[in-house]
Structure 1
Amino acid sequence: MEISLSNQQKPAFIYTYVCNDEERSLCRLEMRSFFGKDDASNILTSSIKIDPNRSPFMKERIEVLYEGNSVEDILEQAATLDMGESTFKVQFAKIYEPAPNEKIGYQERLKIERDIGWKIAGEADMKNPDQMLCIMPLKGKWYFGKLQKSEPIWLHHVKKPREYSTALSTRVARAAANIAVPHPEGIKAIDPCCGIGTVLVEALSMGIDIVGRDINYLVTDGSRENIAYFGLKGEVTTGPISEVTENYDAAIIDMPYNLYTHATPEDQLSILQHARRFAKKLVVVTIDTIDDMVEEAGFQIKDRCVARKGVFSRQILVCE
């Protein structure tokens, strides 16, 4: 069922986020890539539509239908909503921002859900509704709309036929792909040091037009196997980055650093210089500080974050 927005001055979408302290810097960089802004809270409003399944941190998206100064305002507007043949369920947002000094208890939240449900024309279904609807307070206002919860698709990609102990986690890989290509339409991307394809799997699963390449034929074989294992299709070639001849809108490079393919500073600079030759934008993941090297290669660092896991950390640089 399609429900159109009734008032364009309100935010078109509200996104809620969940991340731990180690992920917060990465989460906010992904926010900025999607929306051009971030928010220190777990709630962000925007007119930009993003599928919540893309982000490893996004919990849900609310497509706003009604806005009011009180629950009563929402009740009045909900009375005009006709769900037709679609069943529905009303849910109070799991993550919300009440007005200062105003705590909304569990029983009160249930009452609000019931009251709104009675106002809507249609059949409620508490177990398997066709459409989830959501109400939430935010910055002194109340919002009501269509709810889409995220599905942790990247969790299905954790266990691969071929793995490297030093490969990016699926969460970091997915976020890196989103940071490089937040809006995929018309964008061509490349991972020229793709390893076993952790970034490729995440990017391809989100519909990003990306190809992979690596100098090591053993890992490109593994990358192809991993991509096929998840029912995805993507081109992976074997060869040095110096032989890349096509131009791309974005490149994602996880700097090689494991025992077999550790890149020397000279290697790193060469990789960056070649990336500058064929890519307009570069997202580079590195365990080393390479700011000077990035600039020497002809890029400017436009944004950055640190992704931590215990004592281990990676820098993620957005370069243009």
Structure 2
Amino acid sequence: MAYIYTYACYEDERSLCALEMRSFFWEESQTSILESPIKIDPSRSPFIKERIAVIYEDHSLENLLKQVANFQVTGDTFKVYYVKNDGHEKIAEEGFENRRAIEKKIGLLINGVADLHHPKRVFGVMNVNGRWVFGDYVKSESIWFRHQQKPHSYSTALNTRVARAVVNIAIPVTSGIKAIDPCCGIGTVLVEALSMGIDIVGSDRNPLVLGGTRENIAHFGFTGEVRLADIRHITNQYDVAIIDLPYNLCSVISPEEQHEILQSARRIAKKVVVVTVEPIDEALKKTGFCVMDRAFVKKGSFAREVIVCM
């Protein structure tokens, strides 16, 4: 089955968005639309707006309508929604009146019970890459946005939108993966990962922060292990480690400590995603890491780098 995703991101997030695309789909799109045989829940990503799982497609709308006329919906009420193409293609049908007219035309052809207000099933229709498509439609929920309202936060912590993308980059396929955030701080990454059902544990060597971390996790109804531990003393093995390197005035680390953190990460995890505010390529090389991919994300003059290492 083919899936069509629409995307939206700020200019300062474009590099991060592209890295998340490559992590999910092994490719990236230069437009706001990506097609793939890979199924991803749109709500996992802070950048995906919606998804259509294609049932019918044709180069002409008339022929698509003929296919839809044979479609039966049983047991569920439905609604049809016209998905705008905000990419390079602009067609006459994108006008509001025409979009509503096409929705109505398709809705009348489907064998089933329509419900415009509380449908159990939503279908999308879209003109994309020179053809018309029809299929099951899912709109993304901004779960990361709700996580901004947590009891405890740091001004220097990752924002929830970036943290969610970092988790997706580190763990695009969640099944069977054991992950760790060994410098978890206030738990921003942990909350995003736990909200996706990822098996992740957190630790930090700062005892003053962990009470707030546990409270943040519990605030959203999640449960997860958070313990007081220095990464250098962790002996368990994990598939993935996510490390937002300490950098603020309360967490100044020397080059030697940085090397020990990276060295420990390489020891305990097969794959490591590092978030850093300063160049660390030389340190990664000395530790024996191979850089697989990377992205930059900015907020004003402040920039972070996200580096995927093996």
Return the TM-score normalized by structure 2: 0.97
Q: Secondary structure at the match of 1:45?
A: strand
2:255 & 2:121 partners in 1: Cα distance? 54
Select the residue among 173, 184, 197 that pairs with 2:174: 184
Task: Give the alignment partner of residue 252 of structure 1, picking from 239, 242, 245.
Answer: 242
Partner of 1:287: 277
Q: Is the 8 A contact 2:244 2:276 kept in 1?
A: yes
> What is the CA distance between 1:104 and its match in structure 2?
3.2
Q: What is the correspondence of 1:1-320 to structure 2 with a 5 Å cutoff?
A: 8=1, 12-97=2-87, 104-320=94-310
Unaligned runs of 5+ in 1: 1-7
Segment drifting more, 109-118 vs 228-237: 109-118
Q: Structure 2 CA distance, aligned partners of 1:228 and 1:96?
A: 39
Point out the more displaced range, 194-203 or 220-229.
220-229
* In 1: Cα distance, 2:57 partner to 2:102 partner: 15
**SS of residue paired to 2:127:** strand
Q: Give, as a single letter, the amino acid of the residue that structure 1 aligns with 2:173.
A: H
With over 3 angstroms needed to count, the CA separation of the structure-2 counterparts of 1:152 and 1:145, relative to structure 1, is same
For the residues of structure 1 that align with 2:88 and 2:202, how far apart are their CA atoms? 46
Distance in 2 between residues matched to 1:62 and 1:121, nearest whole Å? 20
Query: 1:302 & 1:191 partners in 2: Cα distance?
Result: 20
Supply the AA of the counterpart residue of 1:63. A
Deviation per CA, 1:224-266: give whole Å up to 9, x if none. 1111111101001112111110111100000001111122222
CA contact (8 A) 2:201 2:224 kept: yes
Deviates more, 1:24-33 or 1:109-118: 109-118
Give, as a single letter, the amino acid of the residue that structure 2 aligns with 1:203. Answer: A
Is the partner of 1:84 in helix, strand or coil?
Answer: strand
Distance 2:143 2:65 in 1: 35
Q: 1:206 to 1:302 in 2, by over 3 A?
A: same
- Work out whether residues 192 and 241 of structure 1, in 8 Å CA contact, stay in contact via their aligned partners in 2: yes
Aligned residues: 310
Matched residues in 1 for 2:91 and 2:141: separation? 33
Q: Say which SS state the counterpart of residue 80 (structure 1) adopts.
A: coil
Deviation at 1:103, TM superposition (A): 6.2
Give the match's secondary structure for 1:175. Answer: helix
Q: Distance in 1 between matches of 2:218 and 2:263?
A: 31
Q: 1:172 to 1:99 in 2, by over 3 A?
A: closer
Would the aligned equivalents of 1:96 and 1:137 in 2 still touch at CA under 8 Å?
no
Matched residue, 1:4 = none
Structure 1 vs Structure 2 CA RMSD = 1.4
- The answer to whether the 8 A contact 2:32-2:87 is kept is no
* Alignment-mate amino acid for residue 219 of structure 1: V
Contact 1:34 1:179 in 2 (8 A): yes
Counterpart contact for 1:88–1:129, Cα < 8 Å: yes
Q: Distance in 1 between matches of 2:7 and 2:212?
A: 33
Task: Answer yes or no: is the 8 Å Cα contact 1:75–1:119 preserved in 2.
Answer: yes
Q: Following the alignment from structure 2 to structure 1, what is the Cα–Cα distance between the partners of residues 72 and 93?
A: 31
Shift of 1:101: 6.7
Ranges in structure 2 where 5+ consecutive residues have no aligned partner: none
Residue 209 of structure 1: how far off its partner (Å): 0.6
Aligned to 2:42, the other structure's residue is in SS state coil
CA distance in 2, matches of 1:69, 1:99: 14
Q: Is the 8 A contact 1:98 1:139 kept in 2?
A: no
Residue 89 of structure 1: how far off its partner (Å): 1.0
1:196-246 CA-to-partner distances (Å, cap 9, x unmatched) read 100000000101110001000111221111111111010011121111101
Does the aligned pair in 1 maintain the 2:182–2:242 contact within 8 Å? Answer: yes
Identify if the C-alpha distance between structure 1 residues 184 and 114 changes in structure 2 by more than 3 Å, giving closer, same or farther.
same
CA distance in 1 between partners of 2:249 and 2:78 (Å): 54
For 2:204, the aligned partner's letter is D
How many angstroms apart in 2 are the aligned matches of 1:153 and 1:301? 30
